[in-house]
Amino acid sequence: MVSEKMYELGSKRSAIRELFEYGKKRAAIVGKENVYDFSIGNPTVPAPTCVKESIMELLENMDSSLIHGYTSAQGDAETREAIARYLNNRYALNVKADHFYMTCGAAASLCITLRALTERKEDEFVVIAPFFPEYRVFIESQGATFRMVPADTKAFQINFEALEETINPHTKGVIINSPNNPSGTIYSEETINKLATLLERKSAEYGHPIMLISDEPYREIAYDDVQVPYVTKYYKNTIVCYSYSKSLSLPGERIGYILVPDEVENSKAVYAAVCGAGRALGYVCAPSLFQKVIAKCVGQTGDIDLYKKNRDLLYENLTAYGYECVKPQGAFYLFMKALEEDAKAFCERAKAYDLLLVAADDFGCPGYVRVSYCVEEEMIKRSFSAFEKLAQSYKS
Ligand code: PLP
């Protein structure tokens, strides 16, 4: 009566959501202050003041039918122009309003892009572990085949040997995400250059372009002046999937975009297919009020220093307790090695101390856990004795 696949997706929560719900139940029993929930990636840093000011100004001064009415399917021209202007100034690009398709966050950007590129079931999209688990859902539900490259657990850049082995004549695209959820690392310029060279070589070998899909909701969340290379400058067949969920702390407003630059082979056809996929999936006309907010707030961010403070606090203390951690360069996740081989068992044991950590098995990286630190600083401080006791429990 219903699609088995959709039934399965709808009736089984993700491991992260499962843990988040468990945390709420636990809080009702032991008190919210005694549960250390590092499960979910919901920004705690407030949206910058320009967001509230723009909303107020728009509501005061703009005609209601303009604020709340339909926009063009691909989004308001003014919003797309404002984003193009900002990116051209910031990264010395040459993109135009017509290259953008406004969407409902990165999830919609990715689904639309994958739908636009997929021609047949044999088409494969490659993801690099550790990766955002929804990629598998997005790829398979657009009718394509999911392929994974195991993690480079030394530097958490890209395991190029494995990538080279994974790419084949069916490879339609590769998805990258930097700053990365869950590892917190940023792909260096050297990595992006190496990736571009490999994809160019493979595209030439197979006689079709292998698209690079750059999923960038954390682009602005980078610490210590580490640069996040703008990928379209290194590889011409790049499509950018962007979201304001994290940079402007607006995850519930569902706003972002897809960028198909002119340099993409057959860019006009690819852009038309993006518009078609947006239409087919029902993602036309992204939320109108927030398109107008973006036009006014483009280039602004929440206070990233607050995340950096959390990063420093966690990293210093957890390493002092003996945890092996990847030092996050960006995003708001700390990736650490579980203290036993089975990360799920480790996370179960952590629950006994009311520490909610996510095993990275679903991120394609067994043996590791993700600690999401977009949380209150006070909660991090309160959690330290639990982390210490958990580490101790493995020594005794
Ligand atoms: N991609 C990555 C790597 C993410 O971490 C997330 C959300 O956490 C998304 C995509 C989806 O973002 P959005 O809320 O903008 O749909």
Dump pLDDT digits (tens) for 45-87: 999 999 999 999 999 999 999 999 999 999 999 999 999 999 9
17 or 215: which carries more pLDDT confidence? 215
**pLDDT for 225 beyond 90:** yes
User: 79: CA distance to ligand 1 center in Å?
Assistant: 21
**pLDDT for 5 beyond 80:** yes
**pLDDT for 368 beyond 90:** yes
What pTM value is reported for the model?
A: 0.97
Residue 396: pLDDT band by 50, 70, 90 thresholds?
A: confident
Quote the pLDDT of residue 299: 96
Quote the pLDDT of residue 41: 80
Q: For atom 2 of ligand 1, which residue has the closest CA?
A: 132
**pLDDT for 17 beyond 90:** no
Long-range contacts made by residues 63-72, C-beta under 8 angstroms, separation at least 24? 66/288, 67/288, 67/289, 67/292, 68/288, 68/289, 69/288, 70/285, 70/288, 71/102, 71/285, 71/286, 71/288, 71/291, 72/285
Write out the DSSP string of 119-176: -STT-EEEEESS--THHHHHHHHTT-EEEEEPP-TTTSS--HHHHHHH--TTEEEEEE
Measured CA distances, 166 to 84, 103, 127, 161, 172 (Å):
35, 30, 10, 9, 12
User: 251: CA distance to ligand 1 center in Å?
Assistant: 9
Q: Report whether residue 177 contacts ligand 1, using a CB cutoff of 6 Å.
A: yes
Q: For atom 12 of ligand 1, which residue has the closest CA?
A: 106
The full set of domain ranges for the chain reads 4-48+302-395, 49-297
Nearest-atom index, ligand 1, CA of 180: 3
Q: Report whether residue 105 contacts ligand 1, using a CB cutoff of 6 Å.
A: yes
Q: Which residues lie closer than 8 Å to 344 by C-beta, 6 or more apart?
A: 359, 361
Quote the pLDDT of residue 81: 98
Residue 315: pLDDT band by 50, 70, 90 thresholds?
A: very high
Percent share of the chain, pLDDT over 90: 95
The burial of 63, by beta-carbon neighbours within 10 Å (0-12 exposed, 13-18 middle, 19 or more buried), is given as: exposed
Quote the pLDDT of residue 289: 98
Quote the pLDDT of residue 12: 84
User: 60: CA distance to ligand 1 center in Å?
Assistant: 32
Quote the pLDDT of residue 209: 98
Q: Report whether residue 41 contacts ligand 1, using a CB cutoff of 6 Å.
A: yes
Residue 380: pLDDT band by 50, 70, 90 thresholds?
A: very high
Q: For atom 10 of ligand 1, which residue has the closest CA?
A: 106
Sign of the Cα pseudo-torsion (361, 366, 369, 374, in order):
negative
Distance CA(332)–CA(309), nearest Å, equals: 11
**Cis amide linkage into residue 150, ω under 30° from 0:** no
User: 262: CA distance to ligand 1 center in Å?
Assistant: 25
10 or 138: which carries more pLDDT confidence? 138
Percent share of the chain, pLDDT over 70: 100
pLDDT single digits (tens) 133-165: 999 999 999 999 999 999 999 999 999 999 999
**pLDDT for 13 beyond 80:** no
User: 174: CA distance to ligand 1 center in Å?
Assistant: 17
Task: Look up the CATH number of domain 49-297.
Answer: 3.40.640.10
Residue 16: pLDDT band by 50, 70, 90 thresholds?
A: confident
Q: Report whether residue 372 contacts ligand 1, using a CB cutoff of 6 Å.
A: no
Mutation test residue for ligand 1: of 109, 128, 246, the one with most atoms within 8 Å of CB: 246
Q: Report whether residue 182 contacts ligand 1, using a CB cutoff of 6 Å.
A: no
Instruction: Kindly state the helix (H) or strand (E) to which residue 239 belongs, with its residue range.
Output: strand 238-243
User: 368: CA distance to ligand 1 center in Å?
Assistant: 20
User: 137: CA distance to ligand 1 center in Å?
Assistant: 13
CATH homologous superfamily, domain 4-48+302-395: Aspartate Aminotransferase, domain 1 (3.90.1150.10)
Residue 30: pLDDT band by 50, 70, 90 thresholds?
A: very high
